[in-house]
């Protein structure tokens, strides 16, 4: 089984980003919006900041108290949204319960929505056009397949998970690449049998090592989006990698797989957003 490592794919994206930045007169700026101190958010933020800096972008963290009211958070969010220097905004989600997340998804400037959370961005993903940005994790899966030369068109892809953050947009991106896509969820009957049909199996369920030998067909490419902590406190994916080693043709490790590509895609989106904003400003000036 070939291990599909994120670092190599991220390095390829870095070159693209450096070329994009050369055409700008300043480093693109990503605003990272965090409410509270959840360990998952802190770890994602750390990785994102590291990646932005390595790729020549700037990351600015905007941190709010976990108890902030819906009204106060929205007031602050409007300001971030309108900051002329900010090119992209990453909101670490889920937000605390008192904040209406759907309002934030609607408020974010689509031009700065580099993680594809707004209805406008998602509509683009579902329509198969590229005006907005797709959610970074979903795009990272497709990027990984392409970078390793794994064919997508015409093949059977199964996505386990149907969230608006990962599963659904990923299914749409695979469909755009002409895969034949099945989406699975907790009500799917005989999940192992459905998964075994997959030539491309993408796991986005958020359940530690739930997919094992029974779920993987011979020669499948397995993309593990899950980021979980197992009962021993170790980071792990949704796939039991050791169990499928002699069945799958290729699989992504966790950590070191999709996560590294996700932050690289985030950097690319932010650089692209900066370029589009520069072009739009020039257009306005005539």
The residues of the shown chain that bind ligand NDP, judged by CB under 6 A, are 137, 160-163, 165-167, 184-188, 191, 204-207, 210, 225-228, 258-259, 262
- Give min distance, CB of 169 to ligand NDP, in A: 10
Other C-beta atoms within 10 Å of 108: how many? 24
- Supply 112's token pair: 């700065």
Cβ closest to ligand NDP, residue 166 vs residue 271: 166
- Give min distance, CB of 94 to ligand NDP, in A: 8
CA distance 2 to 282: 47
List the one residue out of 180, 181, 173 whose CA is nearest residue 126: 173
- Give min distance, CB of 40 to ligand NDP, in A: 7
Cβ closest to ligand NDP, residue 27 vs residue 91: 91
- Give min distance, CB of 278 to ligand NDP, in A: 28
Cβ closest to ligand NDP, residue 20 vs residue 227: 227
CA distance 191 to 214: 9
- Give min distance, CB of 213 to ligand NDP, in A: 16
Cβ closest to ligand NDP, residue 37 vs residue 230: 230
Cβ closest to ligand NDP, residue 27 vs residue 265: 265
Asked, as a colleague might, if the bond just before 229 is cis with ω within 30 of 0, I would say: no
Helix axes 136-147, 6-22, angle to 10 degrees: 110
List the one residue out of 176, 148, 154, 156 whose CA is nearest residue 251: 148
- Give min distance, CB of 137 to ligand NDP, in A: 4
User: Token pair 């996560």 is at which residue?
Assistant: 259
Cβ closest to ligand NDP, residue 27 vs residue 183: 183
- Give min distance, CB of 208 to ligand NDP, in A: 9
Cβ closest to ligand NDP, residue 173 vs residue 225: 225
Long-range contact pairs involving 73-81 (C-beta distance under 8 Å, separation at least 24): 73/35, 73/99, 73/104, 74/99, 74/103, 74/104, 74/107, 77/33, 77/104, 77/107, 78/107, 80/31, 80/33, 81/107, 81/108, 81/109, 81/112
- Give min distance, CB of 254 to ligand NDP, in A: 8
Cβ closest to ligand NDP, residue 150 vs residue 210: 210
């Amino acid at each position: 089984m070939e291990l599909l490592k994120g670092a190599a794919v991220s390095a390829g994206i870095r070159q693209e980003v450096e070329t994009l930045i050369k055409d700008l007169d300043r480093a693109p700026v990503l605003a990272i919006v965090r409410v509270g101190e959840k360990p998952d958010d802190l770890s994602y933020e750390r990785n994102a900041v590291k990646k932005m800096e390595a790729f020549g972008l700037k990351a600015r963290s905007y941190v709010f108290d976990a108890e902030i009211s819906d009204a106060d958070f929205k007031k602050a969010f409007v300001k971030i949204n309108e900051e002329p220097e900010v090119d992209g905004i990453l909101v670490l989600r889920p937000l605390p319960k008192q904040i209406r997340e759907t309002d934030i998804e609607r408020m974010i400037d689509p031009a700065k929505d580099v993680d594809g959370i707004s209805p406008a961005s998602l509509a683009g993903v579902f329509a198969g056009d590229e005006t907005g940005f797709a959610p970074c994790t979903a795009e990272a899966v497709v990027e990984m397949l392409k970078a390793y030369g794994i064919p997508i068109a015409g093949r059977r892809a199964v996505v386990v998970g149907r969230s608006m953050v990962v599963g659904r947009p990923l299914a749409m991106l695979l469909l755009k690449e002409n895969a034949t896509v099945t989406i699975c969820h907790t009500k799917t009957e005989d999940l192992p049998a459905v998964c075994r049909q997959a030539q491309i199996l993408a796991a986005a369920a958020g359940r530690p090592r739930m997919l094992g030998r029974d779920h993987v067909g011979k020669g499948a490419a397995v993309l593990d989006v899950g980021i979980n902590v197992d009962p021993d406190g170790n980071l792990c994916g949704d796939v039991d990698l050791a169990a499928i080693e002699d069945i799958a043709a290729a699989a992504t490790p966790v950590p070191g797989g999709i996560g590294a590509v996700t932050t690289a895609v985030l950097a690319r989106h932010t650089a692209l957003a900066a370029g589009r904003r520069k072009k739009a400003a020039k257009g306005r000036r005539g």
